[in-house]
Structure 1
């Protein structure tokens, strides 16, 4: 091996070790907060909102939500005045995914019972990479608005 090849190999190895050691565990570090569900006005559907904070250096995606309170829970985003169902929502690295009235939200379809104010609905949030999160969602008054 000539000197140039040896130097290149050493630099490549050092760069690889530096990158692999960078940040230690690069998995998303997720937590869900600020959850609420306005009391549904009908037996057919309800909405829910919360924030998923990611304190990790790797992005993730909310891919599905399950609960025994509804036959189906879908993830929606709002673009302009139009809401559309999506397969996932991004949870940025060192950032947050916020679900709120007029924006991204969950839709509970085919409620098995109509949640009342002060009830708690339990859901499980599923992600592309991170482990699922159990989340207790308090049911608030139908006109509830969170403090900004």
Structure 2
């Protein structure tokens, strides 16, 4: 087998492995991201700080939770995510869906560590990040994660 054929085989194996890895992680809610300035705790006698504090979106928090979606203009998975999150917000009382154009809110994107669109953050009633997903989450995954936040 020639050297070019080996390079092709290695490239195909690497691309397939990366694709499988990406498919397994896309749209799954995993952990949170440390937000600078949002680590004030109630034990210190102060109100918890919302991740949306000091932004023009601070007023749109839901009573029980907020589904915060970062998207961009030409992102096809963002449209799917918008439909899923809008449906979930209409189904679950006290939950709001807020879509943020990442291009127009770069300071917030940087502060929250959003690396790609769509990224969905689930915020509790105080506006603290509870979980996040990169990629388009399914309705069932959103409802399951949201149930843990609300309970």
TM-score calculated relative to the size of structure 2: 0.30
- Structure ID, larger Rg: 1
* Structure of higher RCO (CA pairs closer than 8 Å, 6+ residues apart): 2
Q: Specify which structure has the higher proportion of strand.
A: 1
- Give the structure-1-normalised TM-score: 0.30
**Larger helix proportion of the pair:** 2
